[in-house]
Structure 1
Amino acid sequence: IYHLGLLLAKRERHCAADFCLLVVCILAGYDPFIPVGHTEGEEKSRKHIGLVHSGSHLLNRVDGLSGTAGFSFTDLHATDIFDYALRLGNNNVDSPLAKSSDYQLARIEYAKKLSSYGGFATDAFRNFAVERG
């Protein structure tokens, strides 16, 4: 399933590739959120997940739902759901996403974005802090 995910990523079928890598995460305990280096002579393609469905490195993804944040809020929310499901199934033990720099940076940017709207600074901080506490 892992190699199928890598092949799908090479073919830019990012949703299907993410599905395969997430299945391997659940079934085999593999952490698909840690960047994997490329070997010389190997075709450059994505081998890890930055944010679920993002399809490429986090900061290269911008769409209509992200404004100037540098990533898609939809991708962040999909990743949040996966993180929540893993923690729910493991008695709130940290998921592999606790170590994902792409995910943590996106969460900080999202909290900053929420805090920029009038009256949401406290809620944005509470959401970020309580979720990890």
Structure 2
Amino acid sequence: MLLKKSPSNPIQAASMGINKTEDQAISGWERLRFLYEQPSMERDLSRRIINMAFLTGFFFGGVATSAQARETFERSNIGQRFLSASDVLKRQADYAIVRFAKSGFPMGFKCALVSGSIVYADFLKIFHCG
């Protein structure tokens, strides 16, 4: 009969799902370091959450300024003459896309940063509360 040998390293014990005692308490930074050292399901899940948070933040950050972009374009180009009506639409669309990206990237980065720092409380928690 083969018995499973319990790991001596507390990080390995946590990765195997073994309940840890207070003697084997793992600090949050060790957990975070372990998250990126070995392939794990938690790392893949964290990456997906961060990607979706970035895309969601990018979208909502860009949409929030799209109406402002139209007003700003009209205000800043009041006296300017354009070649045709299609030229106006092209420049307005270009301006809206640039403003969408300019406001979307910072918002997406902030959302990814916040959601990436909040990790699963049982195994991937960086800071212990209480």
Structure 1 and Structure 2 fold alike (TM over 0.5): no
TM-score, structure 1 length as denominator?
Answer: 0.28
User: Larger % of helix: which?
Assistant: 2
TM-score, structure 2 length as denominator?
Answer: 0.29
Q: Which has the higher contact order (CA 8 A, sep 6+)?
A: 2
